[in-house]
Structure 1
């Protein structure tokens, strides 16, 4: 026996559209096969998607409320009591089994720099009504995880996503250099199938930048610790080190203490619409884990001739 769509989403039969949408979003995130590894997660995810696709459309919901699980066999001009004649018909087209793999590139990729969350979730979404009764397919949504280096440099990435039927599809995505966490990349025409011949929806990829043990991203500025020896900090040095965009040379001024921040202008996160961020190296003085006899003698010599006391107020 088919499960009641309202029970699947955990809402009352009198639930308003926004309540149905919120319930769907919560459950879709919980049971998405890329997140939930339970054996029945894919089946639950598909069940949730079917329930939402039925209840999110007013006409389809009205038929479901009247005819229950047999609602797909009826279509007509009316939905409620006395709403017109009903005729036998097959089910309306649903989401296709799998999106077209292998598409991508700047031809169908658009970066959305907006910050609102008014997007549709995977397998769901309100059908945007078109002329002649057609409806555009639902926008699908997923997350695209990147390392900081990948976000800085950009380039081609292959994304593998689960489909409603349990299969997977690959998408080639050109990631623009400088994309930030939370921004969205739109792949036009890679979402749900349209209804009544309507256009296909889009696939919206929300960028997520993985935490990095070395680098700290603040806006478009990148911070990292630069380990230096006591002699490099005291005398100054030119140090080559790895940064997210590649190797950089940093000039350490003499008499630098731990915590001193050195700026490399414009070498942080690129900005497709303006000035790039900066790269900041913070001095961190390191001493050897053990000293040789000669090193100890030299440190003792420095100690004997220096009157510097870092604990005195200056």
Structure 2
């Protein structure tokens, strides 16, 4: 499973709504049209800023002849020879970005024009690996007694070919040829928005993902990420007295990080279905908890008859759902979970009940005051 370069994950031509043979002027006009409607200072929709960054990124690449040729080459698989005059960093090996022709070395086999293959130039971005969460369901008896179980699961492990660095032969990452190591590319908005006061802006470089570096010699096994997907086995000890929702953490058995980043943990989540509330029963307990503040405050302010309809209907429905969800013999954890749902419903109903009962109490008091302030 080889990751693609971030720069080739998106079709910039589709983002701007132009054809692949569009002229620079057509690209500029397409960006101008989209940018005017998507700029965050003009468009207040929640996703406007993200969409504006996307079209700006597309314009920054396609409006620059060198970046556009490189982008087209990366998408099509045709090698791109960087010109020394383009300002792109040159390889210390001489004659290319990473020791091959134009930074996209040919793979094994050069027997014909149709057999050329290339390696990606992914971002060099060391990041820690995520934890892997594994659900293990046990019956109540096994969970109470404890258990030792072997599990098999999939995770990313450190690549054995490049030892996690992402480069097969080179010792260090190289400067990104698209942004020159800055991690950003510039988009000039002055000609797009005219006198609206928008100047140049910077967007994250799509090739190096903002790090300023790319893998110098992408590994053929992992594609430059420094990790590969693999099956792993581990024996996990579930301690005695475990309950539904408990977790057991196995350090270092999660996903390996990218480009030598730290490895995450394996988190085994214990599940005991017998201790779980059915969704219907959980909602029922919440409804029961919801009406409790109405009962207490209605009695305190002496307006209970006036809000009886608010109490009876939810209470009857809630009790029906609790009974239907199962009231068979359960252990203390099940009842504790039930109590948690009741408290959740109570907290939701408290302020509504307080406001309503105060309002009704005030209304009744005002109704007993005559035109001269006498209380009848």
| More helix per residue | 2
Q: TM-score, normalised by structure 1?
A: 0.33
The TM-score, its normalising length taken from structure 2, stands at 0.28
Structure ranking higher on relative contact order (CA contacts 8 Å, 6+ apart): 2
